[in-house]
A and B are shown apart, each in its own frame.
Chain A
Amino acid sequence: MKYSYFPGCTLRNKAKDLDDYARACAEKLGFFLEELTDWQCCGGVYPLGADEIASKLPSVRALNAAKENGQDLVAVCSACYHVLKRVNDDMANVADIQTRANNYMALPEPYMGETKVLHYLEVLRDVVGFENLKKQVVNPLTGRKIGAYYGCLLLRPSSVMAFDDPENPTILEDFIRALGAEPVIYPYRNECCGGYISIKEKEQAAALCQRITESAAGFQADCLVTACPLCKYNLSNNSELPVVYFTELLAEALGIKEVQE
């Protein structure tokens, strides 16, 4: 199985671990990520304004490129996934945006939201299957208690993202279980870490992150796992609790990365 792959700006440098392990594990699990040529940054945040077009065009280009490849489009970063999926929803359902974006793009064939946008975790769940993943684990992470940190972007708004139950998600917990570790359920796993606000409002981000990490620690988590570089940055800056990318855990369990103690 081959997918078009949108790594995103951060995975190119600060979050190289997220990217490298994603690719390596994919190969091991029998699917391949073909990086889009000439992708542009998704913008990091989805433009909420109904009249915003220009800021959505980089995503439309990526989506259309995947369509031309005849492949589903996979992202690993929560933000990229969020932006791509929501822009794609606009292109499939909002006539005004369809028309105006296509007018700008002047593609040989208009793009109408045909591409399916997947998060890497969805490929693991729906294509590879967690049962099957479990069988491929060589270094089970037995004894580790891991708190899933979903944040906002994977889950909300659920009407568009349709990723998991927005208030009581299970995909990361199932993933953690498949790797042989024990998932820790704590209530703030879908509450905001502060996101972009941490560039200026360090204290607010700190307060939000502390609530999250303290809650997880209270439920005995010994580390947090996330799919988002910004979440990782904010949480790591404000807590003693280690925060890792899910792909790192996956790589450890599949024997691609040395086990971290």
Chain B
Amino acid sequence: MRRIGVFVCHCGSNIAATVDVKKVVEMALLEQGVVHAEDYPYMCSEAGQSHIAEAIREKQLDGIVVCSCSPRMHEATFRKCAEKNGLNPYLVEIANIREHCSWIHKDMQEATEKAVILMRAAVAKVHLNAPLKAGESAVTKRALVIGGGIAGIQTALDIADAGYHVDIVEKEPSIGGRMSQLDKTFPTLDCSACILTPKMVEAASHENITIHTWSEVEKVSGFVGNFTVDIRKKARYVNMDKCTGCGICQEKCPSKKPLNEFNRGLNNRSAIYTPFAQAIPNVPVIDAAACIKLKTGKCGICEKFCQAGAIDYAQTDEIITQQYGAIVVATGFDTIKLDKYGEYAYGESKDVITSLELERIMNAAGPTKGHLERLSDGKAPKEIVFIQCVGSRCSDDRGKPYCSKICCMYTAKHAMLIRDKYPDTNVTVFYIDVRTPGKNFDEFYRRAVEDYGVNYVKGQVGKVAPQSDGSLLVHGVDLLENKQILKKADMVVLATAIEPNSDVRKIATMLTASIDTNNFLTEAHPKLRPVESPTAGVFLSGVCQGPKDIPETVAQAGAAAVKVIGLLAKDKLKTNPCTAKADELRCNGCSQCAGVCPYGAISYETRQVNDHGIREDRRIAVVNSALCQGCGACTVTCPSGAMDLQGFSNRQIIAEVDAICR
């Protein structure tokens, strides 16, 4: 018989205001095996823990139940406390009487009754808990960063500076990401390329960083400290070692039709291309879908002109397999598609553009060489209308329910830059709210209004109507004046909602990292562990976790790097001891368990078994505890009931069921 101690936490008034904690203590003492029970205002505090320590010593406890908040919050705290005081940490169970009880019930009697039942279930379970010992696994001292935008670059640089090797996998031909497409950055208006390019160069030249561009993660297996990742290096058709980046191939390439992705499809590029002049690596790729040689076998002009002999039409995709201790997701974002927003005439009129397209138009390397002009007729716009929240803050099925966070600031930036460079161009911004929390952000927006004369109108736009004279009639509303506004504009810019990169769901699935309904990766804790995924060893950097601007992205990238460094600094990791285990007397080696194991953790060996005095060789399932993640699929599949899960055994769960249904 176990000697069990029950500790009931008040959590200040969080629990005690709804649950009669004294009553729970009183009822606990009636339970079989409970030799000690007490309540305390904050069990997780130093003082609270010392009460537990004292009881372990004085009452020789060999089982502990803490009735408190969710085990997701403090199970680790109390386990550590037990361990420090000589008790196996797996002899601690938590009864969640806060999130699952006091916070959701109002009636004291009802909540107390439920708390007692939850306490009983935990006591019943702890009677059957076995002391478990965590195994150890080695840590591969190398990190993978998926995505080579500013988030991925910053994370990689910080990890590399700490002395660990980092690989960046980027699906585009160059690193740089969205930030490389931006013209200027708020709130200081410094040029995006001027601050990004040095970081790209630093990453490329860092001895601890390997960059795989034009590459994608294909397969991930393993677990924290020991991931095995297959990376597909897509055929570039250009030998990276030989290419000098002279650019003659791009100049001579006769296939000039493909839309230039880097310029958001606003102009065209050649079939062999580098996305932008400062690309890293400065080695082009051939777009196989557009290359005449690859499609028809004729042409070969780039090869003829390449003095370095770098063109290689025979190149094929290559798979690299590499071990990593940690993986950082930095897959970034894209703007949403606007095909469901016909009322704004995007797609109907060339002069209705997204803000990211405007970035390219404003950029000296963009489709208009930095001149602000209408894409329909090349004329300079005299009247520009910005529409905020296009697809953001929508609870219908057209847009996104969240605020995209960056639009208010970049619109103020665009408006200000236009007014500065083209003072005779009028700018009107239709907004719902102007959201500018951030250092020097609101001041920035006010400057746009007060110093640059940008006309902010509180109200939305219902329709943008392209007129037969080529202008755009904007049907808006001014809610403060209670007037409908008809504004004739030459150009309309839509602050389009952002969404996680479309690849993120695929990547999250490979990593078994959870993802929310908007495809943002979920953090392990929304406040306290914002850069970690709930999946151990997977970290989050940048917009893949939620909308953010550049300073926030860089800050989060650094935070993710610190977490990675903390992990890679360890030589050994403790593994989860709650793994499956087969009872050799019951196992008949049928192999069904291996069939359902997602980790390939189960193998079979023939071993001599002593079954009630009869010795015979039997085929027995063996679980590799380093690979087993403890899901329990095998335990239910096992037809003979031989397989069980330590820490969540059949008997333990049934004991809980019995206690609840008692």
> Which residues of A are in contact with B by a Cβ distance under 8 Å?
165-168, 185-188, 191, 215, 218-220
Contact = CB atoms under 8 A, between A and B. Distances in A.
B467 interface: yes
Contact of A168 (B342, B465, B469, B473): B342
B395 interface: no
Nearest to B345: A187
A165 B465 contact: no
Given A168-B348, A188-B465, A215-B467, 14 more contacts: A165-B340, A165-B342, A166-B342, A168-B342, A168-B347, A187-B463, A187-B465, A187-B466, A187-B467, A215-B465, A215-B468, A218-B468, A219-B468, A220-B468
Nearest to B342: A167
Contacts, number: 27
B503 interface: no
B394 to A, nearest CB: 14
Nearest to B347: A168
Given A168-B348, A185-B348, A218 B467 contact: yes
Interface in B451-483: 463, 465-469, 473
17 contacts: A165-B340, A165-B342, A166-B342, A167-B342, A167-B343, A168-B342, A168-B347, A186-B468, A187-B465, A187-B466, A187-B467, A188-B465, A191-B463, A215-B465, A215-B468, A218-B468, A218-B469
A168 B468 CA distance: 17
A167 B463 CA distance: 9
Contacts of B348: 168, 185
Interface pairs A-B: 8 shortest CB-CB: A167-B342, A168-B342, A218-B468, A187-B465, A167-B343, A219-B468, A165-B342, A187-B466
A167 B342 CA distance: 5
Contacts of B466: 187
Contacts of B341: 167
Contacts of A218: 467-469
A191 B467 CA distance: 15
A166 B342 CA distance: 8
Contacts of A215: 465, 467-468
For this complex, into which size category does the number of interface residues on chain B fall? 10 to 19
Nearest to A214: B468
A191 B475 CA distance: 12
A79 B347 CA distance: 30
A146 to B, nearest CB: 16
Contacts of B347: 168
A191 B345 CA distance: 14
Contacts of A188: 465
A185 B342 CA distance: 13
Interface in B564-602: none
Contacts of A191: 463
B33 to A, nearest CB: 52
A220 B340 CA distance: 27
Contacts of B467: 187, 215, 218
A187 B465 CA distance: 5
Contacts of B468: 186, 215, 218-220
Contacts of A187: 345, 463, 465-467, 473
A185 B463 CA distance: 15
A219 B465 CA distance: 12
A215 B467 CA distance: 7
Contacts of B340: 165
B473 to A, nearest CB: 8
A72 to B, nearest CB: 26
A187 B468 CA distance: 9
Interface in B477-516: none
Nearest to B348: A168
Interface in B319-359: 340-343, 345, 347-348
A215 B468 CA distance: 7
Contacts of B345: 187
A167 B465 CA distance: 11
Interface string B132-155: 000000000000000000000000
Nearest to B344: A167
Interface in B177-202: none
A101 to B, nearest CB: 28
A166 B396 CA distance: 14
Question: Quick one: which of B463, B468, B473 has the most chain A CB within 10 A?
Answer: B468
Contacts of A219: 468
A219 B468 CA distance: 5
A94 B108 CA distance: 39
B347 to A, nearest CB: 8
Interface string B625-638: 00000000000000
Interface string B162-182: 000000000000000000000
Contacts of A185: 348
Nearest to A166: B342
A185 B465 CA distance: 11
A167 B343 CA distance: 5
Nearest to B341: A167
Contacts of B473: 187
B460 to A, nearest CB: 15
Contacts of B469: 218
Nearest to B343: A167
Question: Quick one: which of A165, A186, A187 has the most chain B CB within 10 A?
Answer: A187
Question: Quick one: which of A166, A168, A220 has the most chain B CB within 10 A?
Answer: A168
Contacts of A186: 468
Nearest to A219: B468
B165 to A, nearest CB: 51
A189 to B, nearest CB: 10
A69 to B, nearest CB: 34
A215 B486 CA distance: 15
Contacts of A166: 342
A151 to B, nearest CB: 15
Nearest to A169: B342
B605 to A, nearest CB: 59
Nearest to A216: B468
Interface string B284-300: 00000000000000000
A220 to B, nearest CB: 8
A219 B466 CA distance: 10
A202 to B, nearest CB: 21
B576 to A, nearest CB: 47
Contacts of B465: 187-188, 215
A171 B229 CA distance: 49
A79 B375 CA distance: 40
B311 to A, nearest CB: 43
A220 B473 CA distance: 18
A195 B347 CA distance: 29
A185 B347 CA distance: 13
A1 to B, nearest CB: 32
A53 to B, nearest CB: 28
A215 B475 CA distance: 15
A215 B473 CA distance: 11
B343 to A, nearest CB: 4
Contacts of A167: 341-343
A165 B463 CA distance: 15
A86 B50 CA distance: 68
Nearest to B466: A187
A165 B343 CA distance: 10
A201 to B, nearest CB: 17
B384 to A, nearest CB: 19
A215 B463 CA distance: 15
Nearest to A191: B463
B434 to A, nearest CB: 26
Question: Quick one: which of B341, B347, B467 has the most chain A CB within 10 A?
Answer: B467
Nearest to B349: A187
Nearest to A187: B465
B396 to A, nearest CB: 8
Contacts of B342: 165-168
Nearest to B469: A218
A221 to B, nearest CB: 10
A127 to B, nearest CB: 26
A185 B468 CA distance: 10
A215 B466 CA distance: 10
